Amino acid sequence: MPIDFRLSPAEQGIRSAAAAFAAGPLKDAKMTYMKYQSHQERFQSTRPIYHQAVAGGLIKGQIAPHLGGAGGTLVEAAILVEEMYTVEPSTSLTIFSTGLGLTPINLAGKPEHKEFLAPFLSVDGEPLASLVFSEPGGVANYLEKGAPGLLTTATLEGDEWVLNGEKIWATNSAGWDFKGADLQCVVCRTTTPSSEEPADAIMILLVTIADIKRNTPGAFQVLRQVSTAGHTACSGPHIKYTNLKVPTKNILCPPGTGAPIVSAAFDCTAVLVGAMSVGIMRAAFDAALAFAKGDNRRGASELLTRQAVADLLSGIKMQAEACRALTWKAANCLENGPGDYNARRELALAAKIYCSDTCTKAVTEAINVVGITAYDADQPFADLLTTAMVLPIFDGGNVGIRRRHMQQLMLSKDYDSWASTYGPSK
């Protein structure tokens, strides 16, 4: 069988480097940012750690080699994400969200777009990127014919595109000073579509901090800082564009070509949410196991000798192992096959859905191992649960988006059930 789960030297190197970064700069990140009350202050306090991530190549490593970056395989990315998320999810999300912000350029970028990557190819500074997609009211049905679709629009006026509309939940979109990220990949709708098909209107514009500074005050605004239950040191505010003008050269995906790139970008991150889920499960298992070995609840032996506790812990361990295997398989399959793109994509969707749903269950089971002590804020379990609860509903909610995409694949007359494992059946 052509299956070997032993890490290659390159993969082991990635894991070792990620573990070192997690044990170094990330380890005490929460201790630093929890000194502050507001989300925005907490986010800003992680800037020195982000600087170290840039210096260590973690941003350049999320850019494709053909564009001058040092990016590796999706399996390597999954290994990196798991190691860092196990230790500190919030700061890690800021780092990986810059990767998401750069993914459309990785997928659709041409030589003329390399100038937009310059800050991220450097190993200095703290450049932030963001894929700006979600809108107030949601985007689950944005390609449905006859529906309003995206409300953020771009109008061509001479040699400039004029951007108007509101966005929300786009991590890093406002930058460190809340005046705009270094680079935003803004998913929007042209006001002059070529047909009535919603996808024919979808485009992606690149907005840089330099573009924002060239515009009049108020062209880019933060309307509200969103405080979240988990990931409390991240920034994904409600923002607004008002007649924000960018040069025509800033178009990454012309009208009619944007929707497939958005979909492909989120196919990649679907796999990485699987890895995030495994990281959280790891942390929950390790904390619950340590408690079960070190506490007896006034009994004659440690908790782990109790069958109920051992059953819960073994369940968490098996779930984490199964989710990791699915995530690695999905990562490898998305890049290498077998099967056509839809078959490979199905596994990415499955990894996102199954692993994130399983993660919330696993954390709850870890809490049941520990009992009332898990409710103590000095224990990690409340943070793990509030972190886990977002995984099924962000990056394309499992119910409203990801399962619907799987449904569409299964409805296709060309659906080939097991092509992602065995190759095409015909």
Instruction: Tell me, yes or no, if 267 is annotated catalytic.
Output: no
Write phi, then psi, for 155 (nearest 5 degrees). -120, 130
CB atoms within 10 A of CB 194: 10
Question: Collapsing DSSP states into helix, strand and coil, what is residue 332?
Answer: helix
Question: Which residues, in sequence order, are CB contacts of 205 under 8 Å at separation 6+?
Answer: 154, 161, 163, 185, 186, 188, 246, 250, 251, 252
Exposed, middle or buried, 90 (CB in 10 Å: 0-12/13-18/19+)? buried
Question: Collapsing DSSP states into helix, strand and coil, what is residue 187?
Answer: strand
CB atoms within 10 A of CB 24: 13
| CA angle at 296 for the pair 294 and 298, rounded to the nearest 5° | 140
Q: Supply 132's token pair.
A: 């700006």
Catalytic hit among 182, 211, 395, 416: 395
Peptide bond into 136 cis (omega under 30): no
| Cβ density class 287-312: b for 16+ within 10 Å, e for less | bbbebbeeeeeeeeeebbebeebeeb
The residues annotated as belonging to the active site are: 395
